[in-house]
Chain A
């Protein structure tokens, strides 16, 4: 009974903290995305980009990397564990990956603009699972997303 009580408390704490931080993070992401919405970001290679009209005239290029590591909360992990028994769409983890990807992209753009880039091309996105559910009992899923691209000026 005590274990069950602890479990329910952790679930509540996980749910409320997780929802609060997620809401806050999404607000910040959406605001910053609006600010950089006119900044050109594409996945074209330089060869492809050159064919556009008018042809680009840049003198410098540099690699920019943006990263974010995000951890799940107790509630999301619990629901993920239940989902792991039945199979299907892991809805609670989707927002984690979404947040990590968008945050990493924004950080990359931020660095590129600081350098003075006029646009970034050749955007690549990589995801790493730092820690997975079944690795060891009690471990939490932690996801790292890395976005890298070439800035041009």
Chain B
């Protein structure tokens, strides 16, 4: 036979941790950042290798009509100029460009596969053919240096990363921040590579590079002070101009020359 005697309450901190929650948070944050950083780096390098193994011809063959088909983007007036510029600067003649136009604020971009788009805002303010050539050359530079396919693969990896760890909303904020830094720094490097290609390309066509700076003057006017240096994908305009000036003086390119008047229609070619 035994007797029953009530006991005193149990001491605290048996069933719950006495560790300070902020300490738990900080140590976990460090561990997760390291884990995500390492896995992101591995995926990023894998993607870089993958993108390197896709040839330019294959990129053109499989992706040129993938995002926007030729039927949708009607043949613009700028195809001949774009193809001429491309053939003058490279030996890769299997690729044909067919720039399309869109409505919108001054901008130009190239999709993976080599589809170039110019906006009506840009065309409206363009005064000379040289200026248009410089922008086309810049976009061709992105294609030449394989930025388009690298970008596509990077986007794919970032998307994959999001899907896999997107389930826990704690990590979403962290990966978002990492992506901004990775993508913008890569993009800045790409922009200067494309600018360098564009100068060479412009010089091949006209034997001088006059007209390139008009475009920068315009963007400087339109978005003065709007871009934060480390969070913008395009390098600050001042940085870009300085970079271009350095390339011009290194290569000894002539900045003087006659501008070819802009003879294309300024209306946008398609309404959709």
Which A residues lie at the B interface, using CB under 8 A? 1, 3-4, 7, 15, 19, 30, 33-34, 37-42, 49, 51-53, 75-86, 89, 91-92, 94-95, 97-98, 101, 133-134, 137-138
Contact = CB atoms under 8 A, between A and B. Distances in A.
A85 B35 CA distance: 9
A15 B19 CA distance: 15
Contacts, number: 92
B45 interface: no
Given A94-B15, A98-B16, A133-B168, A52 B4 contact: yes
A79 B8 CA distance: 33
B6 A41 contact: yes
A79 B6 contact: no
A38 B177 CA distance: 56
Interface in B1-43: 1-4, 6, 8-9, 12, 15-17, 19, 21-22, 24-25, 28-29, 31-32, 35
A92 B9 contact: no
A19 B21 contact: yes
Nearest to B5: A40
A138 B6 contact: no
Nearest to A39: B6
B161 to A, nearest CB: 13
Interface of B: 1-4, 6, 8-9, 12, 15-17, 19, 21-22, 24-25, 28-29, 31-32, 35, 165, 167-171, 173, 176-177, 231
Given A4-B177, A34-B9, A15 B22 contact: yes
A94 B17 contact: yes
A82 B171 CA distance: 7
Given A19-B21, A75-B25, A81-B171, 11 more contacts: A7-B173, A30-B12, A53-B3, A75-B21, A85-B32, A85-B165, A86-B32, A91-B21, A91-B24, A94-B17, A101-B15
A34 to B, nearest CB: 7
23 contacts: A1-B231, A3-B173, A15-B21, A42-B4, A51-B1, A52-B1, A52-B2, A53-B1, A79-B21, A81-B171, A83-B28, A85-B35, A85-B171, A91-B16, A91-B17, A91-B21, A92-B24, A94-B15, A94-B17, A97-B15, A101-B15, A133-B168, A137-B167
B37 to A, nearest CB: 13
Nearest to B36: A85
Nearest to B22: A15
Nearest to A6: B173
B168 A95 contact: no
B16 A94 contact: yes
A82 B29 contact: yes
Nearest to A94: B16
Nearest to B176: A3
A135 to B, nearest CB: 11
A13 to B, nearest CB: 14
